[in-house]
């Protein structure tokens, strides 16, 4: 396995809508190696997700896994995902929380995301998946799905007032949030950031 170079904000691949993978393309050894390398890269950089555009491949493919304080997510490979918000309109539950991204290193910002969604996708072997994601899991899925559609978390921020460097987040924002809740909602470690 190899650690892949992560594309950074400004590279055109991050603003392209990704192409779906056919079953034949997914089964190719090169695609399976790409998946293994994406998983290895995600672990190397302590991300909780990594989308193919972040490693310079404009494909509808993402990997996700979290063992962090914000929530546990088993290792998943999502191919050609379709994401449907389950609650829309005035009753839709949105949560605002901190996000970061491997393609936008050392920055964090507060991003509103839907609390609950349904995901349909294929796994790495072409098996159909269908599940409901809530909370932090739903946030990670939306973050990675945005990458597949050519967006980054900055596009979802209503304003840039909370955009901050990671060190300043720890210094100025986290102590303030710790006083408001028993456990900080914000990130404690960079490894808990969605990528």
Residue by residue, what is the 3-state secondary structure of 117-145? EEEEEECCCCCEEEEEEEHHHHHHHHHHH
Residue 144 annotated as catalytic: yes
Nearest to 100 by CA among 9, 2, 4: 9
pTM, 2 dp: 0.87
Give the DSSP letter of residue 181.
S
Average pLDDT along the chain? 89
Q: Report d(CA 98, CA 193) in Å as an integer.
A: 8
Q: Report d(CA 79, CA 184) in Å as an integer.
A: 33
| Residues 172-191: tens digit of each pLDDT | 888 655 444 333 333 333 34
* CATH 1.10.238.10 for domain 12-192: no
Nearest to 137 by CA among 45, 43, 74: 74
Q: Model confidence at 106, in pLDDT bands (50, 70, 90)?
A: very high
Please say whether the dihedral angle defined by the alpha carbons of residues 113, 116, 118 and 123, taken in this order, is positive or negative: positive
The catalytic residue among 16, 69, 95, 144 is 144
Q: What is the mean pLDDT of residues 8-30?
A: 98
Q: Report d(CA 157, CA 58) in Å as an integer.
A: 24
What three-state secondary structure class fits 11?
Answer: coil
pLDDT number for residue 62: 98
């Amino acid at each position: 396995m190899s650690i892949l170079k992560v594309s950074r904000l400004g590279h055109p691949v991050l603003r392209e809508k990704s192409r779906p993978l056919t079953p034949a393309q997914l089964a190719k050894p090169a695609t399976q190696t790409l998946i293994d390398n994406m998983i290895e890269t995600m672990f190397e950089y302590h991300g909780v997700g990594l989308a193919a555009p972040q490693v310079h491949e404009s494909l509808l493919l993402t990997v996700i896994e979290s063992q962090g304080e914000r929530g546990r997510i088993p290792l998943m490979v999502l191919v050609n995902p379709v994401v449907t918000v389950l609650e829309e309109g005035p009753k839709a539950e949105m949560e605002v929380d901190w996000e970061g991204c491997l393609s936008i290193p050392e920055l964090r910002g507060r991003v509103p995301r839907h609390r609950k969604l349904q995901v349909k996708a294929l796994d790495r072997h072409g098996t159909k998946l269908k599940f409901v994601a809530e909370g932090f899991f739903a946030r990670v899925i939306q973050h990675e799905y945005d990458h597949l559609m050519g967006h980054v978390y900055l596009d979802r921020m209503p304003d840039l007032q909370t955009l901050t460097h990671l060190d300043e987040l720890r210094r100025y924002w986290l102590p303030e949030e710790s006083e408001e809740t028993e456990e900080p909602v914000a990130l404690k470690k960079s490894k808990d950031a969605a990528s």
